[in-house]
Amino acid sequence: MSKFYLLTLLGFVFSLPVQAEQRSLEDVIEEVNPSVVNIVADTDDEDQFLGAGIIIGADGYIVTNAHVTENARKITVLTADDVEYDAKFIGADNKTDIALLKVEHPLGFEPAHFADSETVRVGNTVFAIGNPFGLGNSVSLGIISAKERDIEKGPYDNFLQTDAAINQGNSGGPLFNLDGQIVGLNTAIFSTDGKNMGVGFATPSNIVQWVAEQLKKNGKIIRGWLGIGVQKLRTDDPEQKDKLVVASMTEDSPAAKAGMKVGDVLEAVGEATLRNPRDFSLSIASTAPDTVLPVTVWRDGQELDFEVNVVEMPDKKITTDEEPEIAELDVENSTRPAADFPELGMKMYFDDVNFEFTVVEVEPGSDAAAKGIRAGDKFKTVNSQKVFGVEDLKIKLKEAAPLGKATFLFVNDSTVDTITLNLR
């Protein structure tokens, strides 16, 4: 129903523009329902998996979850008007749990259309269509409960959370907005018994569309790679707050060849977003190989510019989404000899496997204690330079003595802190 707003001021009446009339939910559902299919996947073990899929091309392309079609020897697609097709498996990306299927000679396929998931807001009304428990196309209504959820399902987790009912069999089905556009691919639920508890997760449409196009073109996913691992930077410097820092780097990687170093604070990397490590990884992964990215970093109090050539992500290398496995060290029970650094007010030992120092003891009242350093904290660099042992650290501290301070890069679990300590 159109709404009119009247404003009265000094006897004059002003009418605001009439809002466009919105289609009824029933009409939108009726329009998009034919774009949703039911999927039956038969395996060699005679198991049968049920799911849903979305027609994204009148030429027969269908997108669904990779886990729906995993190990399938036969995939059957059933349309909303009960027409059955055999589907060909085109490819899958396990990192995002997305698979692409193809039906040959489809009749009257009505594809759905993608929305820009970047425009989705918490509170938006959405509806899901799927195949819960094999019942066939079923609709559930809800809202977007949250965005950018990381449920530790894969390296590129960036889920939309919804309270629209999603159950077994909904996997691979669409989450629509009220305009009938796909905002997400229903992928997972949080549940204690395998049934809907109002916490469902959908892969954003922008990711779904990019993966589907890659699979259609290449049969696999080609991701860009710089060879760095980044983490959120925590610092007292107001000019450097809420930025990303290079926390790890693969030897002979594009970033290393360009001159970047562990400890560099990222100011700009092409058009990649620097909001958080996950979004940064997604941005770089979606960058085509052979793209040259202009990079600006902050190092030793100055800005430096580089050009980094993006390459195709290797299958078996430490990448931005796969950090090196670091051995756990028991500080209290360690037999490693601890070196005393009175100028820092700390005792530490050096781990020559992971090339990092671990703090064993912090002197009460020292600058280190005042700035929150505790036993068990680890650091890898001093003044943006890697440290290669006790003697190397002593040399670097001696070099920093005229300045009266040194900046350390502490890397603990999922956080990175740059902490400047006054030297005695």
Model pLDDT for residues 326-377, shown as the tens digit of each residue: 333 344 444 456 889 999 999 988 886 677 888 988 988 888 888 888 888 8
* Distance in angstroms (rounded) separating the CA atoms of residues 23 and 343: 71
What are the residues whose beta carbons fall under 8 Å from the beta carbon of 312, sequence distance 6 or more?
Answer: 222, 223, 224, 225, 289
Q: Compute φ and ψ for 32, nearest 5 degrees.
A: -95, -15
Distance from C-alpha of 232 to C-alpha of 204, rounded to nearest angstrom: 23
Higher pLDDT, 273 or 124: 124
Q: Return the ∠ at Cα 255 (arms to 250 and 261), rounded to 5°.
A: 80
Q: Which residue, among 123, 135, 211, 132, has the nearest Cα to 166 in the 3D structure?
A: 132
Say what the pLDDT of residue 235 is.
63
Residue with tokens 């819960």: 132
- What integer pLDDT is reported at residue 212 of this predicted model? 97
- Dist. CA 15–CA 22, nearest whole Å: 20
Residue 208 has pLDDT above 80, yes or no: yes
Residue-wise pLDDT for 80-113, tens only, equals 999 999 999 999 999 999 999 999 999 999 999 9
Which pLDDT score is estimated for 21? Answer: 60
Q: How far is CA 295 from the centre of its chain?
A: 21
Q: What confidence tens digit (pLDDT) does each residue in 283-304 have?
A: 999 999 999 999 999 887 789 9
Q: Residue 308 above 50 pLDDT?
A: yes
Percent of residues, the chain, with pLDDT higher than 90: 50
Q: Which residues pair with residue 126 across a beta bridge?
A: 142, 177
Q: Identify the active-site residue in 93, 97, 157, 321.
A: 97
In the chain, what are the domains?
Answer: 28-219 (2.40.10.120), 224-312 (2.30.42.10), 339-422 (2.30.42.10)
- The pLDDT value given to residue 415: 64
pLDDT bin (cut points 50, 70, 90) of residue 320 is very low
Q: How many CB atoms sit inside 10 A of residue 346's CB?
A: 24
**Rg from Cα positions in the chain:** 27
Looking at residues 186-204, what average pLDDT do you find?
A: 86
Decide if 97 is catalytic: yes
Rounded Cα distance between 401 and 406, Å, is 8
Mean pLDDT of 416-422: 81
Are 367 and 405 spatial neighbours (Cβ–Cβ below 8 Å)? no
Distances (CA, A) of 154 to 64, 130, 157, 192, 282: 16, 23, 6, 20, 12
Are 219 and 89 contacting, i.e. CB atoms less than 8 angstroms apart? no
What would the mean pLDDT of 299-321 be, rounded to a whole number? 78
Which of 171, 253, 281, 384 is the catalytic position? Answer: 171
**C-alpha dihedral sign at 153, 196, 205, 295:** negative
pTM: 0.70
Residue 191 to residues 48, 164, 304, Cα–Cα distance (Å):
22, 14, 48
Q: Which of 374, 364, 252 is nearest to 317 (CA)?
A: 252
Q: Which residues contact 369 (CB under 8 A, 6 or more apart)?
A: 345, 362, 363
* pLDDT tier for residue 41 given thresholds of 50, 70 and 90: very high
CB 418 within 8 A of CB 245: yes
Which residue reads 């669409």 in tokens? 174
Integer CA distances (angstroms), 176 to 142, 184, 188, 312, 313, in order: 10, 7, 16, 33, 32
Of 35, 67, 93, 281, catalytic = 67
How many angstroms separate the CA atoms of 347 and 59, rounded? 67
The DSSP annotation for 76-102 comes to: EEE-TT--EEEEEEEEEETTTTEEEEE
Average pLDDT over residues 11-28: 62
